[in-house]
Amino acid sequence: MIIGGGPSGLMAAEVLSAGGVRVDVYDSMPSFGRKFLMAGKGGLNITHAEAHDAFLARYGARRPNVEPLLNDFSPAALREWVGGLGVETFIGSSGRVFPTGMKAAPLLRKWLHRLRDAGAKFHVRHRWLGWREDGALNFATPLGEQSAHADVVILALGGGSWARLGSDAAWVPLLERRGIRITPLQSANCGFDIGWSEHFRSRFAGQPLKSVVATFTDSHGVTHLRQGECIITDSGIEGGLVYALCAPLRDEIAARGAAVIHLDLLPGREPQRVLAEVAHPRGAKSLSTHLQSHLGIKGVKAGLLREAVPKEDFADPVRLAAALKRLVATRPIDEAISTAGGVAFEALDAQLMIRTAPGVFCAGEMLDWEAPTGGYLLTACFASGRAVGAGALAWLESHPGRNADSPAQT
Ligand SMILES: Cc1cc2nc3c(=O)[nH]c(=O)nc-3n(C[C@H](O)[C@H](O)[C@H](O)COP(=O)(O)OP(=O)(O)OC[C@H]3O[C@@H](n4cnc5c(N)ncnc54)[C@H](O)[C@@H]3O)c2cc1C
């Protein structure tokens, strides 16, 4: 029995079906893979083509836990697997890997078809409610509450962001009640609130802020630096550059209540050169025209400068070389791309089986790891789905002859 029909649950279903096991996949939603489809909306970044060691480094403190999964199912193996579904992939200029066509829907359609052909049974609108006293699993279904026993259970219930797509983290108290250690869920790959003035917000919300360098020094004195793009939102900033700094910023905000990020609007230009350009006599020209013609500062960058630099400092050329902004809070968890936290690896064995619940495995975003955007999330979800599939197969082989009665019975 697999509960959760996202990338990790479906991957586990594939491994088990290929091993000749009857698989029933349950999901609370009316269809499978809704978050996966959403991920494909802006271009499905399925993995990344960078060197294996650099790839592994993206999982930060959880690298030791994620590394064995990715050694068994690497980004290259994932691309091959996608190719096996008849969907080609390509490497973008940033090293990110996408399916041709960029969308998730063709891939998901072919995958579900192949899983059905392999014998997997799908049960939509089955919301898992927890365990009964006798060990059966309870579901809320359109026909009322139903329950089922299974020889082996894989939980692949996702994180807590974008709850309307199905992953609402309602599993957290269900596992906690069984004494399973859960690290509290937190926003990952989320935007940050800044609190723009109405003037700035009304003119620039929705606009990209291109090619800036963001630096942030945490309270341990460690400086985090990223170059890239972000989007000005109604309440702050979001996008790749911000997501890359998300984890340390979030931790700083949790510890101190706020964090300060410095934006360099002119990366690659020496401060002395910028100073010389700003200080260059401008005659009758306005300062805005001068900054635009000498440094290319216009549009949202000019607006940000006005927003961040106090009026009285504006005549000081040095202060015009970079904008400073104070970030005050993370966005609500539901708006984040993914969540950090989840089932603690310490509660699991090497096959990702819950130590205190033999025969119950966990996979995907519900595990306590996080990574930036760039294809690292999906790659680890697929790899962990594969690992639990293999673990469950091994478990079934060593515990034969038990009775399962799924699909769920009233
Ligand atoms: C807008 C957006 C864009 C993204 N883009 C990318 C990207 O380009 N690249 C990338 O790598 N990652 C991306 N991600 C992240 C990626 O989609 C997720 O990390 C991934 O889908 C997680 O897979 P999963 O199988 O662990 O969980 P999910 O895909 O969340 O699936 C979990 C499933 O469990 C079901 N479920 C939950 N609770 C219950 C219950 N109690 N009973 C029954 N069923 C239940 C849900 O309905 C859901 O179908 C994006 C995410 C978002 C929100």
Terminal CA-CA length for the chain: 16
Give me the mean pLDDT over the 275-289 stretch.
88
What DSSP character marks residue 354?
B
Write out pLDDT tens, residues 130-141. Answer: 999 999 999 999
Instruction: Tell me, using a 6 A CB cutoff, whether residue 167 lines ligand 1.
Output: yes
Mean pLDDT rounded to a whole number for the chain:
90
- Distance (Å, rounded) from C-alpha 54 to C-alpha 371? 12
Distance CA(87)–CA(114), nearest Å, equals: 13
Q: Are 334 and 201 in contact (CB under 8 A)?
A: no
Distance 145 CA to ligand 1 centre (A): 25
Alpha-carbon separation of residue 336 from 7, 118, 242 (angstroms): 18, 35, 12
Read off the pLDDT band of 92 (50, 70, 90): very high
Q: Is the dihedral of CA 69, 72, 75, 77 positive or negative?
A: negative
Model pLDDT, residue 333: 72
CA atoms of 85 and 101, how far apart (whole Å):
14
Per-residue pLDDT, 272: 85
- For the Cβ of 47 lying below 6 angstroms from any atom of ligand 1, the answer is no
Ligand 1: nearest atom to the Cα of 27: 44
Closest CA to 365 of 129, 160, 65, 81: 160
Our answer on whether the CB atom of 156 is closer than 6 Å to any ligand 1 atom is yes
Q: Give tens-digit pLDDT for 195-218.
A: 888 999 999 999 999 988 888 888
Q: What pLDDT band is residue 74 in, cutting at 50, 70 and 90?
A: very high
Longest dimension (CA), the chain: 90
CA 145 to chain centroid: 32
Q: Does the beta carbon of 158 sit less than 6 angstroms from any atom of ligand 1?
A: yes
Residue 326, pLDDT > 50, answer no
Return the top range by mean pLDDT from 161-165, 217-221, 244-248: 161-165
pLDDT of residue 278: 84
Is the entire prediction scored with pTM above 0.85? yes
Distance CA 365, CA 345 (A): 12
Question: Which of 187, 337, 367, 386 should be mutated for ligand 1, with most atoms under 8 A from CB?
Answer: 337
**37 alpha carbon to ligand 1 midpoint, in Å?**
9
Cβ contacts of 214 within 8 Å, gap of 6 or more: 225, 226, 227, 228, 230, 241, 242, 245, 261, 262, 263, 264
The reported pLDDT for the residue numbered 402 is 57
Ligand 1 contacts CB of residue 375 (under 6 A): yes
